[in-house]
Structure 1
């Protein structure tokens, strides 16, 4: 399920270009303390992996970029999209936002509308566009035993494998841990765009673009609702199906 939140401010407001952590904090702040603590510190666990099962888009609206300060200055209306298969997540954040508005960093914004939308996936092939960039990564060991993170780009076999394995785990959480799923294929349509995001002093490599997903419709539904790829609750992998 998707919710599209329309935000307004009477004056222009600015935010760092790397603002993922500010949006993430705002989302947790507008959930009940118990549920926010569960998602942040525990989450939903399968195959010894932890998932929060929500994703969010970039901020969408007219803005200017100030290179000297690396700030974005947004004008009047801005939209933010959140997606999750968890009914409690959608219910709680919708209720609180309608009553209180939202605070992003130091800025308090009015919530002028919230639209709910459900995309039902009933096919084995869908075309999607990214609303926030997709991440596929592995944590590896150097010869000296130190860990490092390797990011993969669309077209690499490891990108396909990681995306597919991630969706299988999400689908197990949503539909049942004992189910078996065949791998999903993901292929880019046209050019994809690399985006470097600084998240709490960590450099993350991610990719925007349009993609074709093919596989079990339940896996595709998991991608639409819970996000594609990794680090969804940090503001990556929010996608939208494209109708043709």
Structure 2
């Protein structure tokens, strides 16, 4: 499809929207509740499989808007409206999410009534060279220590192994979704500026990633899929959303 959805949301009965500081699971649940019910169940319970790996094939951006942080309550208070971008290569996903945003009489976000200000279905640019990460890109390996305990090592764009890991991840996604092998070649990611480190808690787990500007090159089918479904890991939890400049 090569499309993404841009929605603007405002509170219905208040002048603000409150989210927890680590809100990814709230947005993920909102998305699942607003796509086709059977598709939501399939993605949540099974997804597209490649050996033991399951891919949900969607991603979303960080929430954008004017805000204040209440450290005591560990909340973000968004003043007036917020903006969210959602992307997937699944046509039914995009169609039903967009239609539900328009036709549902009531929308609830974090137990708050909200209104949809606008919704736009937009096309990812065909020029992929320069991208902005609108949610953190995450790439990691689970490594076993000498004592047998496992720990998670998070990589930074520019690390020696990074491009190979990104490429292998995209190849697995491609094969799981299209059921065929993609073109050969390495997807290369190069930071343009000093990337910002992000630490996000998702249902009690700590996830580390980076946002900022990157350059990307490689097989077009893999890069295109990365645009649609997110780069790196944990995309359906709100990581790896990229937008071409």
- TM-score category (smaller protein): over 0.9
1:25 is matched with which residue?
A: 29
Secondary structure in 1 matching 2:29 = helix
2:196 is matched with which residue?
A: 193
- State the distance in 2 between where 1:156 and 1:185 align: 11
Q: Under a length normalisation based on structure 1, what TM-score does the superposition of the two structures give?
A: 0.93
Partner residue of 1:181 out of 184, 187, 193: 184
RMSD between aligned alpha carbons? 1.6
CA deviations 1:33-66 (Å, max 9, x no partner) are: 3211110110011243211110001111111112
- Report the CA distance between 1:102 and its aligned residue: 3.3
Q: Under a length normalisation based on structure 2, what TM-score does the superposition of the two structures give?
A: 0.92
- Report the CA distance between 1:157 and its aligned residue: 1.6
Most deviating of 150-159 and 53-62: 150-159
CA contact (8 A) 2:143 2:150 kept: yes
- 2:81 is the counterpart of 1:112: no
Q: Structure 1: which 5+ runs fail to align?
A: none
Partner residue of 1:5 out of 1, 4, 7: 7
- State the distance in 1 between where 2:80 and 2:125 align: 32
CA contact (8 A) 2:48 2:177 kept: no
- Report the CA distance between 1:126 and its aligned residue: 1.1
CA contact (8 A) 1:26 1:102 kept: no
- Report the CA distance between 1:160 and its aligned residue: 2.0
Most deviating of 29-38 and 87-96: 29-38
Alignment of 1:1-244 (within 5 A): 1-9=3-11, 10-100=14-104, 101-121=106-126, 126-242=129-245
- Report the CA distance between 1:159 and its aligned residue: 2.2
Q: Check 1:178–1:153 CA distance in 2 against 1; reply closer, same or farther (3 A cut).
A: closer
- State the distance in 1 between where 2:45 and 2:150 align: 22
- Report the CA distance between 1:105 and its aligned residue: 1.5
- Report the CA distance between 1:175 and its aligned residue: 4.5
